[in-house]
Each structure stands twice: as C-alpha cells, then as structure tokens.
Amino acid sequence: MKITMAHGSGGASTSELISNIFAKHFKNEVLDRMEDSAVVPGSSRIAVTTDSFVVTPYFFPGGDIGRLSVCGTVNDLLMSGAVPKYLTCGCILEEGMDMDDLDKIIESMAATADEAGIKIITGDTKVVEKRGDFGGIMINTSGVGFMPESVSLSPAGCKDGDALIISGNLGDHHAAILSGRMNIKNEIKSDNAPLGEMVSALISNGIRVHAMRDVTRGGLGTVLSEFANASECTIDIYQDKIHVSPAVKDFCKMLGLDPVYMGNEGKMICVVDEADADKAVELIRGAKYGENACIIGNVSTRDNGKVILHTGIGGERIIGPLYGEGLPRIC
C-alpha cells in the first residue's frame, strides 16, 4: 500500500495512518492522550533543540532515517549536558511512499527512542505531491532535555592542557551513504547511535568535561575549528591517533576525500581536564558505542584559535572548517 494525498487530508485516512503506524509504535501515556499539545512536568532549566532529517536512501547500511532522526536530536541534547526527556516527531511524506517502509521507519524510531530513554510525546504528519527528487520522507524532531544544576558545557570552556577524546572511528556514516550513491560495494555501516551511555558514565563519575560535541556533518575538522575559535585556544591533534577503519580509509582514498571532514552520526569529541583523560577514555570504552575511544590531541594557549594536525610523516597542517560540500574528487 502506498501513501496518497488523502493520508494528509486531516480526515479519516489521516487518522487511520496515525493509529496504524505512529500510535502503534510510539506508545506512552502522554502521546496516547492524542491531545493538541503534550503536557508534561518540567525542570528549572531545560535544553531545547530541533533538527530535520533528509537522507537518500532512507534505509542505509547500519540504519535508517528513523533511527537517525532520534539519534541526531538526542545527541544534540546530550552534548549540552542535558538528560534527554521528550521528543517530537514531524513527518513530511511523499505521495506514493510505500506504507510498509513507513511502518519500518517509525518502528525503528520507537526502538531507538526506547534505547535512548527519550519519550516521543507529540507528532504531526503531512503529505506532499510526488515530485521525483523528494526521497519519500523527511522527518523533523525537536528534543527537550533537563539540565542538571551543576552542568555547564561550552566550546569556550576548553582550557590549556585539556585532552581531546574521540569516541571511535571516523567516517563510517558518510562512507556508508556515499557507497551506494557511487556504486562502491563494501560492508561499511553507518555509526548512527545515541550516545547517552557514554555521556552519563562521564558525568556520573565526576569527569571534569569542559566541552562536548557530536561529530556530524562537516566532520572533526569543522567541530574543532569551532572549538578553537570559541575558546581562542590552539588544538593539536595527531593523525596517527585518529582511528579510521581500513575500509573507510581506502574508500576515502578512492574518492579523494579526507576522513577529517567525513560526517558521522554516533561519534563525539569531548574535551576533558588533563588529569581525568585516561579515566574518561576507560569510561567511554566501557560504554555502548565507545569501544574505540582514544585521546587524539590536546589544547594549549600557545597560539590563538588554530587547529593543527600533526601528520604521520611529521608535517603540520592547519585544519579549518569544511568548505563546500565535500564532493568526491576523481580527476
């Protein structure tokens, strides 16, 4: 069965779609009330974020747009130090989309929300006419998290001597998506994952975390440039310490791409007090999705706002943000 314009009419077909797919998978006491607004208890300080998700194809190796749309927003909340609580789900569907696909995507959203410990409390669905390059579904999620009183994280908080820890290999998501498009076959899977377990391990064990950021589009280079700018510190990172799987490494070489600018959906960089660095790595490694965590560099006040990559051969290269779209270069 396919999505039709009637599913967006607001009438009987819409209700049917909501109850057969969305309400079936997103079951909780708040959503089940099906009221105009979800009414929930709050906290003195809340974190709010929103993100929209468009990906072609919507099922990709290692994940799907549903899982991605939960992870992206949950991770944004986590990176501010918030405990993720509530999520909204807005779907724009394309006429002609396969109903079974939608069911799988929404089921995956529900499972990922469960895993991440966040409740999907309200949602909306619209249908647009088929236009060829839409990709079937676009999802917007907004997230609300509660801020613990003691937590205050900001890229500006990077301090002289701090260690930089990355939670695992770079480039998997980007390579997984691009492989299909470039007709390259491999076993590379997207790393899309919620990072709550590693973050709460750090916070609950009293690690002095100064800044955190999930390394998504734009890659490590873009995140670190923002850190260096905001903190006016210099960041030194070491190529030999940055893990990239052999398959992703060769994938990048085939297309002239740089792993430092490849997108990820389940990796974070955190800046911690030097004295806590080894403990922090151990905690992240012990948490789900963090088994390859390692220290990749450090912060200093030696120079203002620069990111320097120390290359394997012994050179130095300044790392700026990603420019342009990061297109494959063949020739």
- The 3 state secondary structure assigned to 73-91 is HHHHHHHCCCEEEEEEEEE
Distance in Å, CB of 225 to other proteins, minimum: 11
Distance in Å, CB of 204 to other proteins, minimum: 37
63, 116, 192, 236, 314 from 104: Cα distances, Å: 11, 18, 16, 43, 49
Residue appearing with tokens 């314009």? 5
**Count, residues near other proteins per rule CB under 8 A:** 39
SS3 124: strand
Residue 4 binds other proteins, judged by CB under 8 A: no
Residue 306 binds other proteins, judged by CB under 8 A: yes
Residue 131 binds other proteins, judged by CB under 8 A: no
Segment 183 to 222, residues that bind other proteins, using CB under 8 A:
183-188
Distance in Å, CB of 160 to other proteins, minimum: 22
Contact 235, 321 (CB under 8 A): no
Name which of 1 and 131 has its Cβ closer to other proteins.
Answer: 131
SS3 180: helix
Residue 302 binds other proteins, judged by CB under 8 A: no
Residue 255 binds other proteins, judged by CB under 8 A: yes
Contact 172, 257 (CB under 8 A): no
Distance in Å, CB of 128 to other proteins, minimum: 18
Distance in Å, CB of 134 to other proteins, minimum: 15
Nearest to 214 by CA among 156, 246, 159, 168: 168
Residue 240 binds other proteins, judged by CB under 8 A: no
Segment 256 to 275, residues that bind other proteins, using CB under 8 A:
256, 258
Stretch that binds other proteins, among 8-16, 84-92, 143-151, 323-331 (CB under 8 A): 323-331
Segment 150 to 179, residues that bind other proteins, using CB under 8 A:
179
Please give the distance of CA 325 from its chain centroid, rounded to a whole number. 18
- List all residues 6 or more positions away from 300 whose beta carbon is below 8 Å from its beta carbon: 160, 161, 233, 234, 235, 236
Site for other proteins (CB under 8 A): which residue of 149, 206, 240, 331? 331
Contact 47, 132 (CB under 8 A): no
Contact 104, 91 (CB under 8 A): no
SS3 29: coil
Contact residues toward other proteins (CB under 8 A) are 179, 181-188, 246-247, 249-251, 253-256, 258, 306, 309-318, 320, 323-325, 327-331
